[in-house]
Structure 1
Amino acid sequence: MMALNKSVSFLTSIAIIATLAGCSSQMHKAAQGQESQYKQTLASMAGTYTGILPDNKGNEVMITFRLTKANTFTLTKQYLTSDGSLVSDFKGKASWRDTDHGLVVSNADESGFVFRWEDGKLFPIEVEGEPVTGETALKYSLVNENAIAINITTLEGTEWRLVELNGKAITKAAIPRQRISITFEGAEKKVYGSAGCNSYFGTYELKAENWISCSKIASTRMACSEEQMTIEQAFLKMLELVDNYTINGNQLTLNNATMALSARFEKARD
């Protein structure tokens, strides 16, 4: 009887060991599968991303981030000052952070960034060791240059007609002379159009991702009704202060990131 109990105990021990070994093997395979999935995702993310991000002091920095299929990267930071002085240029190997599946971009000398990848964009989770939350997390991102090229092609060479200015609809009745419009000419970076009463013209610059600035805006000096002139002046003021744009289908929106200024346009149909 004692021999039988020992045999049962021995067989039970073997079964437990086999079960534990099986669980360990399954966990190992799962970990390998997850690691393989991350590597595949990283490989699919390879490319050049550009945009503007805040540093841990709130200053805006222009970022150029190049990620290879081997997961190595080069990241260049440049402050948006008058001379655009180079801040740093560092290299390393990108990795995943298990807790939130964040893309970690840093090395021994730079605390760097942690990004969330979505639809070809990199959204900051951490910047130089500081978490990014709230509106800041939604406002800033890096965009793949391929997506930027498509966006720029859509922006330039198209006549856009104003339908809303600072939240107020702009109807044909309010501007009877001619519709307010804007065209960005890509070859010489000229911007021009109708302000409703007068024609205007100037230059523009595309900085990174969807950041844009217009300058040297001038116009003819015809007189129209008081209502038309009020709308025209508000439009030209907005144009001088715009710093970013978005395109959604046949609609273009020009905005100022820190002021309540915006203009919404639709593609001209005739």
Structure 2
Amino acid sequence: MRRQFFWITLIGLVFAGCQAHRTLSRTETDESGLALHHSQNSLDWAGVYRGVVPCADCEGIQTELVLSTDMTYQLATRYRGKDQTVFRSEGTFSWDETGSTVMLKDARHPDETTRYKVGEQVLIQLDRQGDVVQGPLANHYRLTKEQPVITEKYWKLVELNGQKIGPGENQRREAHLILKEVDKHVVGSSGCNSFHGTYELSEGNRIRFSQLASTKVACPDMDTERALFQVLELADNYSLNGDTLFLNKARMAPLARFEAVYFQ
């Protein structure tokens, strides 16, 4: 009797295990059979990706690709060993039916599609047929996601005290700043004069600029310069949203807004 009970219990456990396995399998796909967990909905894919991919007639194609959550992209490429020309394109992108590959559509060339397979902190450039490139150079078709930092980037000034800043006729250069890692130096231009100084970063996105100095060229319009230098003196914290940097004072409205420009 005990033996019979043992076998009945064992068969019941096996049956329950099979049912659980089938239930688990069903939760891994939706009704159409597609995976529920894929790159599109399980990875933090938005951001800036950089790398140097192979080139048939140059030293390599320096590539920077920005994927935004609004399904738009910006792509910049430079052919190493040729000249310093930067080729830029932008447009929208979509995901393939598996949720693992993004397909870029250039706004100027809608018939052309560039595909990247999306992985953890990496994009893998695919060939024209949408397949992974094979051969000895296969591992070089990779763009690595850049971690969010504010140093060693060219930050173009686009808004100051709530007013948009555009390329003025009287500007010698566009207004910008760069936070250099070496010696914690800040360098840039107000649109008229070049400036330099030091900065300090601390916990809680705190920032302080000090020892600011500039050249003394007189320009027809000095308002932007005066306002920018005042902002740099007042700012005590920053916030970062993708390729946008805000300089703030306490919890007030942002004093200035900058956008990252690559290959500068």
What's the TM-score bracket when you normalise by the shorter of the two chains? 0.3 to 0.5
TM-score, normalised by the number of residues in structure 2: 0.42
Higher Cα radius of gyration: 1
TM-score, normalised by the number of residues in structure 1: 0.41
- 1 or 2, which has the higher helix percentage? 1
